[in-house]
Structure 1
Amino acid sequence: MNKQLHTHFGPELEARTTRFGLRVAAGLSERSEALPHDVSERLRFAREQALQRAQSARKAAVGQTEQAVQTVRSGSALALGGLGGGSSRWLKFASFLPLFLLVVGLLLIQHGQWYEQILAAAEVDTALLSDNLPPAAYGDPGFSEYLNDDEQQE
């Protein structure tokens, strides 16, 4: 779509764009002469660093495209050419390892919650056995709330 717009306006758009660019460059050049020496040196250093980063980014992009070209179609799966003759057992192990770690983590979380429930029940039992309460209090459904309020006051 940009090409169609560019060809529709043609040389007039290019001339305006060029004039605008020249005006901006001239304004920046005039103002850069009035800058102190330390500011202009920092700008020069920043410009050099930006150019080095751009060059390294271009090199990395070229390396990625070369690696993408090395991919080959192997049977019904896409394989990278640089993998070599790795054992399929190790690849299967590596693919099931995250699933195994997830299951182990979930089991540990479940065990931890179970342990916390046991500790909470033991706390309630200890509070029941250590207090002097009337027998009717043990049958009250809000008794655990009473114990929790009592613990918060202490």
Structure 2
Amino acid sequence: MTVFTCASTGQSITLLGEPKISGEAKVWQTNRNGYLAKIYHSQTPERVQKLAVMIAHRPKEPNSHLNHISFAWPFLSKAAEAMQFPTYFGANWDAFDECITDLTWCPAERYVIFYDHADIFAQAEPKQYQIALDILNSAKEYWQAKNITLKFLTINK
């Protein structure tokens, strides 16, 4: 059993069970309900900077008025459900990027993603919508380099 101490809160976090291993990290269940721990295989200056930016610019909590913390933005949770992401999916942009360029749980010669009512997301959260598009475009290039087609179509209401 491995125990870490959170630098910002001083709380202990215990890693439980066996990790799920991905291309860039190991993802562990923790003793904190609703929390996972992602431990990267290697530390790079770019990854450190990316994590610092993610921590500094946390997403706006859409359910704060309900005294409830969302585990993911609606897009991420719906995408994970539709594409049957693994249970270790971290419900953040980094995890979405990792899963959309992995897809080992559903191997195929081509992938097609339909996103219905994309305009609602684009209007409500334009910056988040652009992040989604950037990741999908990057994934398209990633799969293209492997001679596998990934197409995504956005459909407005």
TM-score class, shorter-chain normalisation, is: under 0.3
**Higher strand proportion, which one?**
2
Bigger relative CO (Cα 8 Å, ≥ 6 apart): 2
TM-score (norm 1): 0.17
Give 1 or 2 for the bigger CA radius of gyration: 1
Higher helix share: 1
TM-score scaled by length of structure 2: 0.17
